A and B are shown apart, each in its own frame.
Chain A
Amino acid sequence: MTEWIISILLLIGGTFVLVGSIGLVKMPDFFMRLHGPTKATTLGMASLLTAAMVFFSTTQAGLSVKEILISLFLLLTAPISAYMMIKSAIHHKLDSIERTQGKDNIEDDC
């Protein structure tokens, strides 16, 4: 039974990580590329680490919950690094693809 839970969580996690990387390669401009790794990869990692938590809790003596720490850390830091990256992209005036709406909402920095 636990083997099934671990397997399903692992497969979900692996799929999300893969989807994040596919988004990274497939999308046409930087701002769209950012969406894959910040969201899909983070959730995939959370799912993988939950699987690891269940695995180590059942195979080894005692409960193992320290994997939550990595999930928590990734969930907290993913938006911050995304923010830093999009800020530096705007600073370098990277091109977004032509059909992007509301480009004039970006203000010039000083």
Chain B
Amino acid sequence: MMRLEAKFKWLPTPLRSLLLFMVWLLLNNSVSAGHIVLATILAIVIPWMTSPFRTKQPLLIKPGLAFRHLMLVLYDIITANVQVAILILGPNKKLTPGFVKVPLDLTHSMPITILASTVSLTPGTVSAEVYPWQESLMEGEEPEQRFLLIHVLNLTDEEALIKTIKQRYEAPLKEIFQC
């Protein structure tokens, strides 16, 4: 089940607090006691002050799996970039670009955003659009099936590409957010 509320009221978004803490220490480039105290105060006060006007986002349920998935994506980014570099430097005539529609199992907009970003950064694909159009839906209406439109630099096997995206990137996200 997807979870929107955090365990503790005073810490509405644990991951964002951790991010704020790290960014403050990195910006100052120090781990002195004063900066740690200031970073802790900022990491608790800022999410607490901004939580009333933010829409609730699903929380990470399996942080360990999320970390493993992040490592996998980073590895894929590096290997995929070498392939894309070779494709770019090779002759243009050999490339067969194409648009592909990937059916999505995810329903919430935040996991879809993460999936679209990973697709944009990995092998020769850029995500273009999520169908159906948000504007064409009624307020609060849920579409039956969402699609992600992606542009592929060198499309050879459409079925295999859709299968890779669904298994390698979408399935872990589904498990991480439990939705």
Q: Which residues of A contact B (CB under 8 A)?
A: 15-16, 19, 22-23, 26-29, 31-32, 34-36, 38-40, 42-43, 62-66, 68-69, 75-76, 78-80, 82-83, 86-87, 90, 96-97, 99-103, 105-107, 109-110
Instruction: Please tell me which one of the listed residues B23, B27, B84 contacts residue A40 in the complex, with CB atoms under 8 A apart.
Output: B84
B96 CB → nearest A CB, Å? 6
A39 to B41, CA, bound (A): 37
Q: Is the CB of A83 within 8 A of B127?
A: yes
Taking CB atoms and an 8 Å cut-off, the chain B residues in 68-120 that contact chain A are: 77-78, 80-81, 84-85, 88-89, 92, 95-101, 116-118, 120
Task: Assess whether B126 is interfacial by the CB under 8 Å rule.
Answer: yes
Q: Taking CB as reference atom, which chain B residue is nearest A103?
A: B99
Q: Which residues of B contact A43 (CB under 8 A)?
A: 77-78, 81
Instruction: Please tell me which one of the listed residues B23, B92, B132, B149 contacts residue A105 in the complex, with CB atoms under 8 A apart.
Output: B149
A70 to B132, CA, bound (A): 34
Q: Is the CB of B116 within 8 A of A26?
A: no
Q: Tell me the count of chain B residues lying within 8 A, CB to CB, of chain A.
A: 40
Q: Is the CB of A34 within 8 A of B126?
A: yes
Q: Which residues of B contact A (CB under 8 A)?
A: 23, 26-27, 29, 77-78, 80-81, 84-85, 88-89, 92, 95-101, 116-118, 120-121, 124, 126-129, 131-133, 135-136, 149, 151, 153, 155, 158
Q: Is the CB of A75 within 8 A of B121?
A: yes
Q: Is the CB of B99 within 8 A of A83?
A: no
Instruction: Please tell me which one of the listed residues B88, B129, B155 contacts residue A35 in the complex, with CB atoms under 8 A apart.
Output: B88
Q: Is the CB of A90 within 8 A of B84?
A: no
Q: Is the CB of A102 within 8 A of B99?
A: yes
